[in-house]
Structure 1
Amino acid sequence: MKLALVTHNVIRGDGQGRVNYQLARHALARGHEVLLLADQVEPDLLERGARWLRIHPRVQKPHLLKVAEFTQRTSALVRRVRDEVDILHANGYVLDEPHHLNTSHFVHAAWLHSSVRASEVTGRLQSTYQWLYTAANARWEQRAYRQARLVAAVSEPVRADLLATGLPPEHVVTVPNGVDLEEFRPGREPRATWGLPEDRPLALFVGGIRTGRKNLDTVLAALREVPGLHLAVVGDVRGSPFPALADRLGVADRVSFLGFRDDVARLLRASDLFVFPSRYETFALVVLEALASGVPVVTARSVGAASLVTPECGVVLPNPEDAAALSRAMRSLVEDAPLRERMGLRAREVAREHGWAQMAEAYFRLYERLADSSIR
């Protein structure tokens, strides 16, 4: 099979890019030919035999123009190489040509009307640009999805968002993202590496903390009612309001802001629970990474990956704004070490069903189903 992947990046350090990296890697391991139409590509894929047609937009800012140029150039390339490939797999609005499969990682039409989006921006100019960017992408995405024979949603919430835009149910399938079961594995790491206390339970929070979307403010408020718990926060603190908020709430002595980190796998092994009640998340790979690490998860229904969190391995809050419910969930885990251990064991079992190999296999089954479909 000759597979063409169309996406901005095929790299491990990017959520969508990592999914495509794994698809390319598994396809090459199976002996398939892989063509990458992308801006950035991991060198090891080229060493394994992938072919790369680089699309590097001349315009980098504003991002809206970068997206438009990227799609214009990929579409021109696809018209040239269409006869060379068996499967053409795009990701969102990256292609303005008919194709077999499109993976939806984010639905801009849903984000356009989200109250969370409105709270993310400040200032009239920024607000106007963000609205324009989201509105344009919502329109462009719909065009792209309708040119695909099939659309794969990365979570059930994304599938619901796609159906709400008018796509027929038979046009949309769900393929959850995967996780590296070797990198993210159970174990124990000494906390002294990060200056974290060893003598009390440790919760970990990972996400962007320069705005309120990830909901660290509610976590900090809930922390006041869980006095035995220490919280480690991974996220860029430059311009973040949350260190000051922790101080005002009187919990600063129990919160360690670690900045941006590339050793989250080790931090998860040093933690007793993972807390992530984000206000809006189409999937959140880090939730699956926590499960794979054998760490109980406290999250919210507004997180796409929450559908993987069963009562045996974590707690899913109906409302991410409910600080009282969040504090109760954290306190139940802090006060019951055997419960944390049982949940951790079950978390790993759940994650085993969602490794990268299982995700890739689900996509290969779709490829086989679509291989004989005409996309002209």
Structure 2
Amino acid sequence: MKLCIVTHSVVKGDGQGRVNYEVTQEALARGHQVTLLASRVAPELQDNNLVNWIPISVKGLPTELFRNLLFAWRSSNWLQKHRSEIDLVKANGAITWAKGEVNAVHFVHSSWLKFTTQKTEDSSNNQRVNPRKIFYNFYQWFYTALNSNWEKKAFQEAQKVVAVSNKVGEDLLEIGVLPESIRVIANGVDLQEFTPGNCDRQKWNLPQEVPLALFAGDIRIKRKNLDTVLRALVKVPELHLAVAGVTEGSPYLDLAASLNLSQRVHFLGYRSDVPQLMKTADFLVFPSRYEPFGLVVIEAMATGIPVITASSTGAADLVKPEAGIVISDAEDVEALTEALQMLTSNPELRNKMGQAARTIAEQHSWKLMAQHYVDLFEEMEH
């Protein structure tokens, strides 16, 4: 089979990039030829004779919207000229204007737009608009709205639409994707990189001999929901929280200070050593307001620590009662407080849940995920 994957990156360093990296490796292992329309490709793939990398540069443009438009235009032009040389195209959302037989969905912008619009209406009477953020907020809304329309067209044209979680599958049904077109293939985890163990907290200047939770994600945006975590943390005075995420432009350092949490919340900035950092924590707390999957959840499970998350996080499907706690409403401070208290006060329960979490994670390796993708490609070829 001559497979073409259209994506911004095919590398191990990010979620969508890792998915496409593993799918490419599995396709190559089965003897298929792979064309990559991408801006970045891992060096080991560039050196493979079965890989044809078509670099698509989008450098120099000021915003993600313009970069994505240029990528879509350039990838579409190439596919228009070379479509007869390809057996199957795997796209990722609205990344290209060309038709893809398979479209892998890592984010449904219309669902996030619906959520944010509702939240804005609910809070409009209680909050002032910050004039400095008007343009930024409009840009974010405009970008999301455009993506919503482009995605619907891309999903309608695809023969199969792969959802990275059951939650994404439900989101796809809401925008009119036919049930028979949807295939759920959950994202995977590196079981060698994320393993149970212990690391000395001193490396990160974290306190010893205290219960420690971990939050990891983009703390410059509201979607990850660190604000609710901080408000719940106020009511669990013995618990400390390590926060991994870029602090520049984040409002949560000031929020933590205003809640008198500065001594218990440890902002670590961006971390490239999350697999080791996870080994310092007693559990992960990640009740994202909207998360199509949430790799950090399954990574924590693979590390052998329990997870507290919300049903609005796609990977919550993996968090069985024996492996963690799923609250039904990400905004419910009381429910989150209760979950934090339960794990903070019970080391034996944490150990049991951590063992169960690792067992579940072992059923979701990257290799197994990639096999499911390539099985689908081969099924469609026949």
Residue matched to 1:45: 45
Residue matched to 1:7: 7
**TM-score normalised by length of structure 2:** 0.93
Residue matched to 1:68: 69
Residue matched to 2:270: 260
Residue pairs, 1:274-289, within 5 angstroms: 274-289=284-299
Q: What displacement does 1:347 show?
A: 0.3
Residue matched to 1:93: 94
Flag the 1:116–1:328 CA change in 2: closer, same or farther, 3 A.
Answer: farther
Q: What displacement does 1:337 show?
A: 1.1
Query: Aligned letter for 2:185?
Result: V
Comparing 303-312 with 246-255, which one deviates more in the overlay? 246-255
- Aligned with 1:99: secondary structure? coil
CA contact (8 A) 1:116 1:279 kept: no
Query: What do you get for the CA RMSD once the two structures are aligned?
Result: 1.8
* CA–CA separation in structure 1 for the residues paired with 2:250 and 2:353: 32
Please state if 1:114 is matched with 2:115: yes
Residue matched to 1:25: 25
Among candidates 343, 364, 378, match of residue 368 of structure 1: 378
Q: Alpha-carbon deviations, 1:140-184, whole Å to 9, x = none?
A: 111111221110011111111111111111111111111111101
- Aligned with 1:35: secondary structure? strand
Residue matched to 1:230: 240
Structure 2 gap segments, 5+ residues each = 124-128
Q: What displacement does 1:316 show?
A: 0.2
Residue matched to 2:134: 124
Comparing 118-127 with 319-328, which one deviates more in the overlay? 118-127
Percent of counterpart pairs with the same letter?
A: 47
Q: Alpha-carbon deviations, 1:31-90, whole Å to 9, x = none?
A: 322110011111111123322001113662332232222112111211233232332111
Comparing 27-36 with 266-275, which one deviates more in the overlay? 27-36
* Equivalent residue pairs, number: 372
- Aligned with 1:329: secondary structure? helix
CA contact (8 A) 2:26 2:374 kept: no
* CA–CA separation in structure 1 for the residues paired with 2:316 and 2:70: 35
Residue pairs, 1:77-226, within 5 angstroms: 77-115=78-116, 123-226=133-236
* CA–CA separation in structure 1 for the residues paired with 2:67 and 2:119: 23
Flag the 1:258–1:116 CA change in 2: closer, same or farther, 3 A.
Answer: farther
Q: Alpha-carbon deviations, 1:219-262, whole Å to 9, x = none?
A: 11111222221110001111222122212212211111000000
Q: What displacement does 1:116 show?
A: 6.9
* CA–CA separation in structure 1 for the residues paired with 2:8 and 2:227: 32
Q: What displacement does 1:198 show?
A: 1.8
Structure 1 gap segments, 5+ residues each = none
* CA–CA separation in structure 1 for the residues paired with 2:254 and 2:58: 39
Residue matched to 1:248: 258
**TM-score normalised by length of structure 1:** 0.94
